[in-house]
Amino acid sequence: MDSIFSRYSHLGLPIFRICVSLLMITHGWAKLMKLMNGGEIKFFNFMGLGPEISLGLAVIGELIAPLLILIGFKTRFAAFPALFTMGVAAFVVHGGDPLDEKELALFYFFSFLMIFLTGPGAYSLDNKK
């Protein structure tokens, strides 16, 4: 006889994928609004690309990619920009900061790493048959 835990174990990855994506989208939406509002943009200048392009790349990693992950479409492919963005945030932007200032970026980094490695789970557009 199956336990209740084994009966619903197929829900773990989709619930995790959806919840992490919804949380990240709030950060990406704020960055998109910052990008769209005009005016001077003050943002980390990644590899000398300029703050505008760097902010645009962050919008891709924090809004566009999580939207794809949320619905489970090209999940592993979409997890990479989100993973990369959070890696830059944790290890470059906040690299010298104490743990309490970079732990959220680390949480998202390891969350998107897990999604990248495991895929979307049972319920996703990637697994639609």
Averaged over successive runs of 10 residues, the pLDDT of the chain (129 residues) comes to: 73 93 96 88 87 93 97 96 96 94 96 95 82
Q: For residue 64, give the nearest of 106, 33, 121, 25 by alpha carbon.
A: 25
Give, for 107, the enclosing helix (H) or strand (E): helix 99-118
Q: How far is CA 104 from each of CA 34, 56, 57, 94, 125, rounded to the nearest angstrom?
A: 20, 20, 19, 11, 28
The C-alpha angle 27, 31, 35, rounded to 5 degrees, equals 170
What's the confidence (pLDDT) of residue 4? Answer: 74
Report H helices in 8-74: 12-36, 51-59, 65-71
* Tokens 């944790």, residue located: 90
Instruction: List the domain boundaries for the chain.
Output: 12-118
pTM of the model: 0.89
- Residue 12 CA, chain-centre distance (Å), reads 18
Angle at 48 between CA 46 and CA 53, to 5 degrees: 60
Q: What is the pLDDT of residue 10?
A: 85
Amino acid (one-letter) located at 93? V
The pLDDT assigned to 129 comes to 62
Which residue type does 2 have?
Answer: D
